[in-house]
Structure 1
Amino acid sequence: MPRYFAYGSNMLHDQIGARCPSQKFICVAELPGYRLAFTRYSPKRQCGVADIVPAPGESVWGALFEMSMAETKRAEIPNFTGGEAAAITKQGNPYIFRTSFTQDTAMPKVARYIANTLNAKTLALIYVNNDFGKGGREALMKALEPLGVKVVADISTDQNQLDFSAPVLKAKQSNADVVFVYSNEEESARALRELRKQGVAKPIVGETVLTSQKVIELAGDAANGAVAHVGLTTDAPIPAVRAFRERFEREYKFIPDHNGVKGYTSVFILKAAAEKAGKVDPKAIAQALHGLSIKAAQNPGVLMDVSFDANGDLDRESFMTEVRNGKQEVKEILPALGAK
């Protein structure tokens, strides 16, 4: 994920260029007179801290790195995260903003697909036992209950788990109508390979990670047939997204996944918020982001219309995808929850 995320936000001429084999640019986010600077990564701190400072030049070269929520809250600096755990934006931090859906937004969409499109009545859930997995489990359970879908196998797995034979066997023995896999990239790929190995023929569904480019690469043919709701995909039939993917592939010689889009669009969301605030001040930018709606027609770098609520959660169109012949394909475009 870090490679996709960092390359997607590769806008800083000097510092990012020094970390890549050569300096390459997909596009540039500009704010006259300012640059985005950051401290170097520290293995001890496990984070970087960013700030926006005046510069004598005429352009901004934006970069995005992983930051600590507590650290940036203390520094009163906007923090963009690609994390989907529901708890992230429930802590009252006014400086945290998502580049992807919260689980509370995404799970109702995939739950409706399971109940209404697959006509499933029972489900086996394989999830990773960390904050991400537990948050997704809770959101999925909550979304499935009013739809009449019963979870008949609730299977916890460890982060970095290598052997999925036992969890898959439990899911298989439950005879559920659908198997739902919710884990990190490497673990999701291992689960898919084991599901195919044990001959599980039921639909395999997930959310975002399951049909990501990284999982497809790791799982190989075992990924074919997997279905997932995704908030972002470079396979989206949207001209701006396709153009981004083409530029990215041309420069880096590999296909970006949703993490690359997150990194790329974050810089332009920051730019739009600074313009809305009328000044390049971190506190003012954070205030401007709350309740902000950004139209791609006026801000092409965001790729798709996007809006933020008072918690820093975002809303926009999303997609149901399926892996076919080793490629993620969009089955359906789902409207933003707030669309009228």
Structure 2
Amino acid sequence: MYVKKRGKIFLLILLIVVVNTLTACSSSQESLEKILRIGVVGPESGGSAQLGQGQRKAVELAVNEINKNKLAGEWKLEAVFQDDEGNPTKSSSATNKLIQESKVNVIIASINSSSTLADMVVTERAGIPQITPGSTGASITEQGNEWIFRTAANDSFQADALVKYAKEDLGITKVATFTASDDYGQSGAKLLKNAIEKYGLELVANPTYNNGDKDFKPQLITIRDNGAQAIFMWGLYTEAALISNQSQQLGLDVQLFGASGMAAQKLIELGGDAAQGLILTQTFLPDADIPTVKEFVQKYKEKYNEDPIPHGAQAYDTVYIIANAVLKADSSEPEALRDAIRNTQGLELVTGNPTFNEQGDDIGKRLLITKIDGNKFTLIKAFETK
């Protein structure tokens, strides 16, 4: 009886030793792998879901390509996603969760400018580099935050290009702005006002709206009665589509303009006939005759059976910038990654040749003025953002 009991104890001890040895080997093997964890925050549900979903798909495509072809050398990329619903509070919480629980080394976030402004407080405090491929609000890179970068086109570039085109190419002289009341919309309103003054146009009305509003007719009547020839909208695609429809219902004879925040297929679907001819800025067109664009679009369509959106193209480029940074730095340490991102050069990507200025803006982008023609966006004019 005693011998049997000793034998069982011996076997139990032996089993524990074997399990611990295997666990140690497994942990040692894992520690030898060079893994870079990328946290991705965006609105995969809510009013700007199409933008966040496009971002996620493009990130997944880029991560798989880079790992398959070992484009980051010995480093393997892993993406961890969080849905912020376009809500700044939820976005900040999601960013903190990725840093504290998922132990990510770099953050791709977010789409909505108000969300990015919340996120960047978290990443700056944690000392984690953050790149936003979708948020264009000018204030994002005006705060001296050394951890924030942007691969979307700064709103200041967009506002200037749109107003200049309206004046010099279309001969428009009297305009109105109609902007969302959030950080994104009000940043755009300020930049539009500056550009309108710069190019000598007359601003006859500047109403605002809240995201989620359904009735825009009171503001539109004011715009009509003040004799505006054009309306510059600054917001997202759902409200832009409603404004387009209600402008048509009221018989407004105006040219509609918009920024990249509304550059999604949903704008065309929801706006219908009323959105035809709407002019807006973006950094990507899927039918552009550019080799890098053609290759990206082909791969994206093969995987998802749809065209990528500009926010997706920018997110795709962002992952390649991160892969290049970890390859050059050969480190997942935050400061090394940040410095390598800042010194990005020599990449030929889908939306341009990324180069970051002192504020963290990518000034190597192609900024496109496009218009809705049928079921797609067509190119009118291209600008450099430098």
TM-score range, shorter chain: 0.7 to 0.9
My pick for the range that moved more, 106-115 or 206-215, is 206-215
Matches within 5 A, 1:33-72: 33-37=74-78, 41=82, 45-47=93-95, 48-49=97-98, 64=108, 66=110, 68-72=119-123
Structure 1 contact 274–281 (Cα < 8 Å) conserved: no
The one-letter code matched in structure 1 to 2:333 is D
1:208 paired with 2:257, answer: no
Give secondary structure in 2 for the equivalent of 1:229. strand
* Sequence identity percentage: 24
1:131 paired with 2:183, answer: yes
Structure 1, gaps ≥5 residues long: 14-24, 54-61
The one of 220, 225, 233 equivalent to 2:277 is: 225
The one-letter code matched in structure 2 to 1:3 is Q
Matches within 5 A, 1:117-196: 117-196=169-248
Structure 1 contact 211–226 (Cα < 8 Å) conserved: no
Structure 2 contact 314–351 (Cα < 8 Å) conserved: no
**Offset at 1:85?**
0.8
My pick for the range that moved more, 41-50 or 90-99, is 41-50
Give secondary structure in 2 for the equivalent of 1:314. coil
Structure 2, gaps ≥5 residues long: 1-50, 85-89, 111-115
Partner of 1:59: none
Q: Which has the larger radius of gyration?
A: 2
**Offset at 1:256?**
1.9
Matches within 5 A, 1:1-340: 1-11=51-61, 28=67, 30-37=71-78, 41=82, 45-47=93-95, 48-49=97-98, 64=108, 66=110, 68-81=119-132, 82-290=134-342, 292-296=344-348, 301-315=349-363, 316-334=365-383, 336-338=384-386
- CA displacement, residues 90-110 of structure 1 (integer Å, 9 cap, x when unaligned): 122111111201112221111
RMSD: 2.5
Give secondary structure in 2 for the equivalent of 1:46. helix
- CA displacement, residues 40-96 of structure 1 (integer Å, 9 cap, x when unaligned): 64876233535567xxxxxxxx99564721222222221111211111111221111
The one-letter code matched in structure 2 to 1:337 is T
C-alpha spacing 1:32/1:73, structure 2 compared with 1 (3 Å): same
- CA displacement, residues 158-188 of structure 1 (integer Å, 9 cap, x when unaligned): 1111112222222222211211111112111
The one-letter code matched in structure 2 to 1:7 is K
Give secondary structure in 2 for the equivalent of 1:169. helix
- CA displacement, residues 278-318 of structure 1 (integer Å, 9 cap, x when unaligned): 5443211212333533431xxxx555212110111111221
**Offset at 1:10?**
0.7
